[in-house]
């Protein structure tokens, strides 16, 4: 029996709906059996490609693809080559990347694209062009003192009315913090109200050591117990109305003043106006600095030589065991002819004694180095000044070498900081009087975590022998702690430097190892071998994020330490100082696995200390 089905006419929308449903059912069935299982996974979200040409690999896992898929990479920076090698049986495999020094150290967004027939899958990752620091076992005798790093760390107190009470509370805690820095010959500079001689009336009222000894006495019992007392300036009654020293009329008065200071601390005191003045402590002061920044404080080089040649013998007549730091120079503008140019001052001061140069005892010659004198200086400009510091030290050494009796005199940097500026009485900048002074926090924040280690490395390699922080307690621009003794990041930076590169008197110094860098524009490396065979590495990231940055965060960097020329070390530890450092506890050392290539990652400005033991 033939069955006839009635056919109902369909409206246009109804017909369209049936077509969509039919097509949808057909495509869903196809996808579930083919494209749903097609996927690409990468072994890592980033890959570090070394600038020395060492291949870097990235695993690529491909699933759900039939046949041989095509693997491509997009977004590679110029200079990086890649090659995909499938594993046996495919389709997964390994991408290999090779870079070189033409690829700027940076991070680049890159994608892997896998094509299987008409199907395409992509995965993004970050390619990092990594700086390579190659460390060699050989000593670089062209650096330091014939290959030895002999630079100690220290700090300073500028003593006046605003610092005299620092040790009045929690003195033992503050002294412990100071001792933990392991500073040698802490610098004591008395100015203003702390100057112990206030007049020349012949009465006991002419002298008052109270404010001075509030700082001096605690320091005398702290750290190495051997501070350097810097006789920064003359008492007011010996000066011109503008505050500069009247050397023509008071040279011998100043020498007598300095001799009485030695008597006070070292020789049982002195009598004045019917009263005896004597230090309350038994510890003597051996090191003395003679005048502060004479080039900025009214003295020509010839006048300073005369002052030095007069004052030092007067002090030695009281105590023959004294040692002296000469010059304390305000140092800037090498070769420019400016007031701070050592080329304008050193030749006359260090001329042969018969020609009017210095003839008194010199145990060190000191200079002061600052990154700039303006809160508007960019980070890039401040970092760019650092290699010039090394050039200044080398010039000092060349001038000393011209005299056989001074060739072995060490150069000390007794003031160092990011910014030398300060506020005038009207609140304006001393260096830029038309603009308001603004505190520069780069003296104690993440910027400093790169800046001071960079300075330490450059100066140590240039044979500098001492690097002083200006000051121990002060604002965030100047200090290592605040007035309560609470550490800034600068404290932990300096403490880490001294702990990593200790140079106690009489100890055999570490040797500076030969190194090479694929990018020295933003990375600094200092490597030394210690007497116990351990190697200490310091890696500094001073990469600037933008040329206009003023207290920026810095740019991320990856650094590969190539130790392939050494036998494998038995143990390794890593300590990093940067923006994440805990200001209460400081940086912490972490054990890491020794390897012939160790990768360090910086998120911005900072320094890593790597210790490797046999």
- State pLDDT tens for residues 537-546: 999 999 999 9
How far apart are the C-alpha atoms of 35 and 114, rounded to whole Å?
A: 13
Cα within 13 Å of Cα(323), Cβ side: 13
Report pLDDT for 2: 31
From residue 140, give the alpha-carbon distance in Å to each of 246, 312, 513. 48, 38, 6
Q: Is the predicted pLDDT of residue 297 greater than 70, yes or no? A: yes
C-beta separation of 598 from 537 below 8 A:
no
Q: Compute the mean pLDDT over every residue in the chain, rounded to the nearest whole number.
A: 93
Assign 68 a pLDDT band (cuts: 50, 70, 90): confident
Q: What pLDDT, in 10s, does the model give residues 247-271?
A: 999 999 999 999 999 999 999 999 9
* DSSP secondary structure letter of residue 428: B
Assign 36 a pLDDT band (cuts: 50, 70, 90): low
Residues 190/192/196/197 CA torsion (nearest 10 deg):
130
- Concatenated DSSP letters of 309-327: HHHHHHHHTT-TT-EEEEE
C-beta separation of 525 from 539 below 8 A:
yes
Q: Which of 140, 77, 139 is nearest to 108 (CA)?
A: 77
* DSSP secondary structure letter of residue 238: G
Reported as type and span, the H/E element at residue 100 is none
Report pLDDT for 65: 87
Q: Measured in Å, how far apart are the chain's first and last C-alpha atoms?
A: 100
Which three-class secondary structure state does DSSP give residue 597? strand
Report pLDDT for 606: 98
Pairing of strands 119-139, 511-517: antiparallel
pTM of the predicted protein model: 0.92
Least confident of 17-21, 63-67, 353-357, 578-582: 17-21
Beta bridge partners of 601: 558
Least confident of 31-45, 75-89, 179-193, 561-575: 31-45
CB proximity list for 158: less than 8 A, separation 6 or greater: 189, 191, 470, 471, 474
Q: Is the predicted pLDDT of residue 430 greater than 50, yes or no? A: yes
C-beta separation of 51 from 132 below 8 A:
yes
Q: Which residue has the tokens 């304008």?
A: 344
Residue 190 corresponds to which tokens in the numbers above? Answer: 């008395």
Pairing of strands 156-159, 152-154: unpaired
Reported as type and span, the H/E element at residue 401 is helix 386-401
Percent of the residues in the chain that have a pLDDT greater than 90, as a whole number: 92
State the CB neighbour count (10 A cutoff) for residue 516: 13
Region class of 526: left (phi > 0), else alpha (psi between -120 and 50), else beta: beta
Which three-class secondary structure state does DSSP give residue 214? helix
Percent of the residues in the chain that have a pLDDT greater than 70, as a whole number: 94
Least confident of 12-21, 557-566, 583-592: 12-21
Region class of 293: left (phi > 0), else alpha (psi between -120 and 50), else beta: left
Burial class (CB in 10 A: 0-12, 13-18, 19+), 471: buried
CB proximity list for 208: less than 8 A, separation 6 or greater: 196, 198
How far apart are the C-alpha atoms of 508 and 488, rounded to whole Å?
A: 31
Q: What pLDDT, in 10s, does the model give residues 470-528?
A: 999 999 999 999 999 999 999 999 999 999 999 999 999 999 999 999 999 999 999 99
Burial class (CB in 10 A: 0-12, 13-18, 19+), 294: buried
Q: Is the predicted pLDDT of residue 395 greater than 70, yes or no? A: yes
C-beta separation of 84 from 60 below 8 A:
yes
As a whole number, mean pLDDT of residues 359-388 equals: 98
Report pLDDT for 32: 35
Residues 442/447/450/452 CA torsion (nearest 10 deg):
0
Q: Which residue has the tokens 């933008």?
A: 546
Beta bridge partners of 188: 157, 229
Q: What pLDDT, in 10s, does the model give residues 106-163?
A: 999 999 999 998 899 999 999 999 999 999 999 999 999 999 999 999 999 999 987 7
Report pLDDT for 189: 97
How far apart are the C-alpha atoms of 404 and 406, rounded to whole Å?
A: 6
- Concatenated DSSP letters of 209-231: -HHHHHHHHHHHTSTTS--EEEE
C-beta separation of 281 from 269 below 8 A:
no
Domains in the chain, please, with CATH?
Answer: 36-128 (2.60.40.10), 148-479 (3.20.20.80)
Which three-class secondary structure state does DSSP give residue 231? strand
Report pLDDT for 10: 34
As a whole number, mean pLDDT of residues 403-427 equals: 97
Region class of 432: left (phi > 0), else alpha (psi between -120 and 50), else beta: beta
As a whole number, mean pLDDT of residues 420-426 equals: 96
Q: Quote the distance between the C-alpha of residue 581 and its chain's center.
A: 15
Pairing of strands 119-139, 107-116: antiparallel
Q: Is the predicted pLDDT of residue 34 greater than 60, yes or no? A: no
Assign 15 a pLDDT band (cuts: 50, 70, 90): very low
Reported as type and span, the H/E element at residue 536 is strand 535-541
Beta bridge partners of 602: 557
Rounded to the nearest 5°, which phi and psi values hold at 347?
-55, -40
Residue 404 corresponds to which tokens in the numbers above? Answer: 């056989």
Which three-class secondary structure state does DSSP give residue 176? helix
Rounded to the nearest 5°, which phi and psi values hold at 14?
-65, -40
């Amino acid at each position: 029996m033939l069955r006839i089905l009635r056919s109902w006419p369909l409206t246009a929308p109804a017909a369209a709906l049936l077509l969509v449903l039919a097509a949808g059912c057909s495509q869903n069935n196809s996808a579930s059996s083919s494209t749903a299982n097609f996927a690409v996974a990468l072994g890592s979200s980033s890959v570090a490609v070394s600038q020395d040409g060492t291949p870097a690999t990235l695993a690529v896992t491909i699933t759900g693809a039939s046949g041989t898929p095509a693997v491509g990479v997009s977004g590679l920076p110029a200079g990086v080559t890649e090659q995909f090698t499938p594993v046996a049986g495919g389709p997964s495999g390994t991408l290999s990347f090779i870079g070189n020094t033409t690829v700027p150290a940076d991070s680049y967004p890159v994608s892997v694209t896998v094509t299987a027939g008409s199907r395409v899958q992509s995965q993004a990752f970050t390619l990092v062009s990594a700086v390579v620091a190659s460390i060699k076992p050989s000593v670089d005798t062209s650096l330091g003192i014939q290959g030895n790093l002999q630079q100690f760390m220290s700090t300073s107190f500028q003593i006046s009315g605003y610092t005299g009470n620092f040790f009045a509370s929690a003195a033992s805690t503050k002294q412990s913090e100071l001792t933990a820095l392991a500073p040698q010959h802490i610098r004591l500079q008395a100015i203003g109200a702390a100057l112990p001689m206030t007049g020349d009336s012949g009465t006991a009222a002419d002298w008052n050591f109270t404010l001075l000894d509030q700082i001096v006495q605690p320091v005398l019992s702290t750290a190495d117990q051997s501070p350097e007392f810097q006789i920064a300036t003359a008492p007011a009654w010996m000066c011109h109305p503008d505050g500069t020293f009247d050397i023509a009329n008071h040279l011998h008065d100043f020498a007598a003043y300095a001799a009485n200071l030695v008597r006070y601390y070292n020789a049982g005191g002195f009598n004045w106006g019917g009263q005896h003045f004597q230090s309350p402590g038994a510890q003597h002061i051996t090191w003395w600095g003679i005048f502060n920044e004479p080039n900025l404080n009214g003295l020509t080089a010839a006048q300073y030589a005369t002052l030095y040649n007069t004052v030092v013998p007067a002090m030695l007549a009281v105590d023959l065991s004294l040692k002296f730091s000469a010059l304390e120079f305000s140092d800037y503008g090498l070769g420019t002819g400016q007031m701070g140019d050592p080329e304008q001052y050193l030749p006359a001061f260090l001329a042969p004694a018969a020609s009017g140069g210095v003839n008194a005892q010199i145990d060190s010659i000191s200079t002061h180095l600052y990154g700039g004198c303006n809160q508007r200086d960019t980070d890039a400009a401040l970092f760019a000044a650092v290699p010039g510091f090394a050039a200044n030290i080398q010039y000092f050494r060349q001038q000393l070498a011209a005299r056989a009796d001074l060739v072995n005199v060490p150069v000390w940097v007794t003031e160092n900081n990011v910014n030398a500026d300060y506020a005038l009485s009207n609140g304006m900048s001393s260096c830029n009087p038309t603009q308001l002074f603004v505190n520069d926090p780069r003296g104690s924040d993440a910027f400093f975590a790169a800046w001071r280690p960079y300075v330490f490395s450059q100066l140590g390699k240039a044979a500098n022998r001492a690097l002083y922080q200006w000051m121990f307690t002060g604002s965030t621009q100047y200090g290592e702690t605040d007035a309560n003794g609470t550490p800034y990041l600068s404290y932990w930076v300096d403490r880490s430097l001294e702990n990593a590169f200790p140079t106690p008197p009489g100890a055999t110094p570490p040797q500076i190892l030969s190194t090479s860098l694929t990018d020295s524009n933003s990375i600094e490396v200092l490597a030394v071998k210690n007497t116990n065979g351990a190697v200490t590495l310091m890696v500094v990231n001073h990469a600037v994020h933008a040329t206009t940055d003023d207290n920026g965060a810095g740019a991320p960097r990856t650094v590969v330490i190539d130790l392939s020329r050494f036998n494998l070390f038995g143990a390794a530890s890593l300590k990093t100082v940067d923006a994440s450092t805990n200001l209460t506890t400081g940086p912490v050392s972490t054990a890491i696995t020794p390897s012939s290539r160790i990768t360090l990652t910086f998120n911005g400005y900072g320094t890593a200390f790597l210790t490797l033991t046999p």
